[in-house]
Amino acid sequence: MGLSATFRCFRGCDGSYPLTQAIYRCPTCDGLLAVRHDMAALAKTSGEEWRARFDRRWSATSASGVWSKREWVAPEVPEDAIVTTGEGMTPLVSSARAAGPVRRLATELGFGELLVKQCGTTHTGSFKDLGMTVLVSVVNHAVRSRALDVRAIACASTGDTSAALAAYGAAAGLPVVVLLPRGMVSVTQLVQPLSHGARVLALDTDFDGCMRVVRELSARGLVYLANSMNPLRIEGQKTVAIEIAQQLGWEVPDWVVIPSGNLGNSAALWEGFAMAKELGVVDRLPRLCIAQAENANPMYLAFKAGRRDEVPAVVAKPTQASAIRIGNPVSAPRAMAALEAMGGVVEQASEAELADACARADRSGLYADPHTGVAIACARTLRERGTIRADDRVVVVSTASGLKFTEFKLGYHERKLPDVDATLANTPIPLPADVDEVAKHLA
């Protein structure tokens, strides 16, 4: 069909660059890049045909959700260069199911319909797989076709990016370097890249400090940059939006609430919905809520102050939502545009609110990671304020598996989390190994 995609300036400067080139900023204005598709070529297929094609592929077994949308993602990567773990096609759990794990949560919080997109139900346990399969596949293709010479693929990470990069890099046989803020990621997130054989550099700084270092390394040509400043990641992540619409029978929800740090994922959500709308696959955009932790809230502060141009950096404080402990978000300009296009708002959640939201969600049968807790807490605030209406259909994007955050869960139930009054704490009850004693307790 002659489909193609290139890197172009996000702000619209002239010039386009092949996806196989190691380029991360616009040479003219030094701003962010975007992947732009040949929309005229894509539009030769009608919205109805795209829906039918995507639905056919959804029912095929052993497929990848991301690559089932490959024409919209990276159409020129050959099949045999794709590095996949079968990412995507994650459950969208709805409170409309009488016995589902969202039902009681939705009732307690007063939602008409609440749905949770379970992006953590995936190979490395977070949505980062969606973007990483695209980035590593493009690099794999570029290296094999000798368009690119890569010594190592590298990222700064709050944990989940490094886990995903290390897994996909290992699968492709490409060397991986990850830069982590020392002592600030969960044990699981640290063990993942170590297990996959990545070179793990623990730096004495925060995420923003790691980001500065890896940007400079990539500018010097020493490593290929795998952070979401590289828009290849966004191309994969945007499939979440398409999947949400698809799982709702190609209807768009009223709201999507997404926990955000570096803001690449909220931008990806917009790109996915916008592309689906432009190609006639859906008829409108949902409203967007960017959900931040109060302790790492630069986007919230900028939005509150009425800023629609840039996001002043802050120093992010510790938060249980460690993957979004970011003070200087790289994708801020993309997220500003997303808010504008989607009638968006920014909300924040305190440590107590996010922990309480997780505990309530868990009591309802979910197993919410702290970032999902931030999103649920923010959705609750918007509902209480009436911004989200009682009959709105609301999708919360759950970004990671709760299983990665055992220390957080344990800390909650042992009442050891700072600034959190754990009202739903639940601890083991020591009893003698004696039937009568146990029976007496149960009575």
Binding site for ligand PLP (CB under 6 A): 126, 128, 160, 228, 259-265, 323-324, 369, 371, 399-400
403 contacts Zn ion (rule: CB under 5 A): no
Question: CA-CA distance, 157 to 211, in Å (whole number)?
Answer: 8
Which helix (H) or strand (E) segment holds residue 337: the answer is: helix 332-341
33 contacts Zn ion (rule: CB under 5 A): no
Q: Write down the least CB distance from residue 89 to ligand PLP, Å.
A: 19
* Residue 349 φ/ψ, nearest 5 degrees: -135, 135
Which listed range, 28-36, 53-61, 164-172, 377-385, lies at the site for Zn ion (CB under 5 A)? 28-36
**Taking the CA atoms of the chain, what radius of gyration do you get in angstroms?**
22
Contact 236, 131 (CB under 8 A): yes
- Which of 187-219 are b and which e, b meaning 16 or more Cβ less than 10 Å from the residue's Cβ? ebbbebbeebebebeebebbbbebbeebbebbe
23 contacts Zn ion (rule: CB under 5 A): no
Please say which residue, 105 or 119, places its beta carbon nearer to ligand PLP: 119
229 contacts Zn ion (rule: CB under 5 A): no
Partner from ligand PLP, Zn ion, none contacting 13, C-beta within 5 to 8 A by type = Zn ion
Q: Which two tokens stand for residue 25?
A: 């900023």
29 contacts Zn ion (rule: CB under 5 A): yes
Partner from ligand PLP, Zn ion, none contacting 29, C-beta within 5 to 8 A by type = Zn ion
112 contacts Zn ion (rule: CB under 5 A): no
Q: Write down the least CB distance from residue 142 to Zn ion, Å.
A: 23
Which listed range, 13-21, 44-52, 152-160, 335-343, lies at the site for Zn ion (CB under 5 A)? 13-21
Contact 32, 229 (CB under 8 A): yes
Please say which residue, 100 or 298, places its beta carbon nearer to ligand PLP: 298
Which listed range, 21-29, 101-109, 235-243, 307-315, lies at the site for Zn ion (CB under 5 A)? 21-29
β-pairing, 33-37 vs 5-9, is antiparallel
28 contacts Zn ion (rule: CB under 5 A): yes
Contact 155, 161 (CB under 8 A): yes
Please say which residue, 9 or 217, places its beta carbon nearer to Zn ion: 9
Non-local (6+) Cβ contacts of 60 within 8 A are 68
Q: Write down the least CB distance from residue 11 to Zn ion, Å.
A: 5
Q: Where are the alpha helices (DSSP H) in 156-263?
A: 160-172, 187-195, 207-219, 232-237, 239-247
What's the N-to-C CA distance of the chain in angstroms?
Answer: 70
Partner from ligand PLP, Zn ion, none contacting 128, C-beta within 5 to 8 A by type = ligand PLP
Q: Write down the least CB distance from residue 207 to Zn ion, Å.
A: 26
